[in-house]
Amino acid sequence: MKRFRLVSIATLLLIFSASSFGPLELYAQNPTDESLPRIVQKDGRYALFVDGAPFLILGAQVNNSSAWPAMLPKVWPTVEKLHLNTLEVPIYWEQFEPQRGRFDPSVLHTLLDQARQHHVHLVLLWFGTWKNGSGHYTPPFIKLDEAQVPHVVNAEGHKVDSLSPHSQVGLDADRAAFTELMRDLKAADPEHTVIMVQVENESGTYGSVRDFSPKAQKLFEGQVPAVLLKAMKKQPGTWRQVFGDDADEFFHAWSIAHYIGEVAAAGKAVYPLPMYVNAALRDPFHPGKPGSYDTGGPTDNVIPIWKAAAPAIDLLAPDIYMPDYARYTKVLDLYHRADNPMFVPETGNSPAYARYFFAALGHQAIGFSPFGMDTTGYVNAPIGATRIDDDALAPFALNYSIFGSMDSVVARLNFEGKLQAVSEDPAVHTRTLDFGKWKAVVSYGLPQFGNGKVAPGNTPADGEAMVAQLGPDEFLVTAVHARVDFEPADSSKQRQFVKVEEGEYQGNDWHFIRIWNGDQTDYGLNFTSASQVLRVSLATY
Ligand code: DGJ
């Protein structure tokens, strides 16, 4: 457990050294829960704490049918090539509870054993009542019990491929299975290999705005629950009276969120790991009509409803399969909220997506995870890469190799609000990051040598940069395919580099490699596709 030992040493360092990194009370722990992974909030920002310190998930998710033991040999080589610290893997309800009340934790245990051997954490994905809006992962005793666990019925009276959130039998069964999973996990994982759990997968319904079955209709005609009225600052009334045209969708969102909130709460009662749900998104600019997207799931328009209905869920996370800059960053804006820690649990695995790791960091993400990262032979093109080979992995592997040894340093700087990071927008070739006394200027497409003229941008737009403030005149900088330079806010002065050190963090310790000077600094700090991290001291003259 090399990696875990490293983290523990880092934790001790944080506790015993009067670090320049901030007040120790930041890391004050409940002594009984010192090592339990959890989400911590401070000053409107969030961090995922693992082993008592902020942690950055350098993640990837396997294909849907890749968590079976026979498939794992086609998973681990990719995990290593990507330099992951966390793997997201499904737990299939149909496997975990093949017959009612008979639980089989063997796959879970295999995953735990092998993750430990490969020195990575796990995020478990509970594929239960919902998987991409459908009930395909439910065990046969659920699938065949249409009378008690019915499908959603649309406005025309037709069943659609999604289970009703109004089935008490369905909820009881899902909740019981998930609780058993968390109970088993607690016993089998004292070292917290698993750091977070996703409850269901892309819940919601395609093909209907809500359930129109008689049972659902009766509830819809009833009163809006008081807790939701309070959260939405509304007066009492029926769903239609309170929410007008949004009533059908809001009712469905409340119903699904409430169901999943119950499942999560029961699981947390036995083992309180951080829990989240993932969203199949609406187009952020042209959402379309409810029913055309995964309606009732945690889409951007119903985040407040989910927050009120499912308080056991720590965060709502967008699955981002929109490669264009405007949409991607708009989605990040929509889910980066004062009441919602930012996490990208799934994103496309084609090269265009790799740079958004930096934009996610710039939105204070606790982690990032491209989907479909294994060599089982399945690819989800066109929303992902057409093949998974070393070339496809390279840009993701580069990012994680840069951040792999400084994940906790970066997570901490982000938690403290000292970090800014950007991905290249093909329409904007220079970005200025404001640090008060200093401005960091990120330019794309300039040569390493020579001042160049106007930055032309990269083709394709694959640049990315991160700048974090370590002291009044000291910054941590890394980038790919970008030039980073600094300007004093006081334009009567000019910047000079006092020292530019290349090195790498091991835990919280900085290991010096060399000083950049001459050609390497005369034209700004130019980053290629090499894994390079700099500590930069500045002054003016
Ligand atoms: C999003 C889902 O959450 C994943 O499980 C997977 O189905 C992808 N879409 C598509 O490959």
Q: Which pLDDT value is given to residue 321?
A: 98
Q: Which atom of ligand 1 is nearest to the CA of 64?
A: 5
Residue 34: what pLDDT?
A: 73
Distance separating alpha carbons of residues 538 and 16, to the nearest angstrom: 29
pLDDT score, position 497? 98
Q: Give the per-residue pLDDT at 64.
A: 98
Distance in angstroms (rounded) separating the CA atoms of residues 50 and 39 = 9
3-class SS letters over 25-72: HHHCCCHHHCCCCEEEEECCEEEEEECCEEECEEEEECCCCCCCHHHH
- Report which ligand 1 atom has the smallest distance to the Cα of 201: 3
Buried b (16+ CB within 10 A) or exposed e, 489-523: eeeeeebebeebebbbbebbebeeeeebeeebbeb
Residues of the chain with pLDDT under 70: 1-33
Atom 2 of ligand 1: nearest residue by CA position: 132
Q: Is the CB of 319 under 6 A from ligand 1?
A: yes
Q: Residue 453: its pLDDT value, please?
A: 75
pLDDT number for residue 146: 97
> Model's pTM, two decimal places?
0.93
Question: CA 539 → CA 311, 437, 475, 494, 495, distances in Å?
Answer: 48, 11, 12, 8, 6
* φ, ψ dihedrals at 540, nearest 5°: -115, 165
Which protein residue has the closest C-alpha to ligand 1 atom 11? Answer: 380
pLDDT the model gives residue 125? 99
Task: Quote the pLDDT of residue 21.
Answer: 27
Residue-level pLDDT at 475: 98
Q: Establish whether residue 201 lines the binding site of ligand 1, counting it when its CB lies within 6 angstroms of any ligand atom.
A: yes
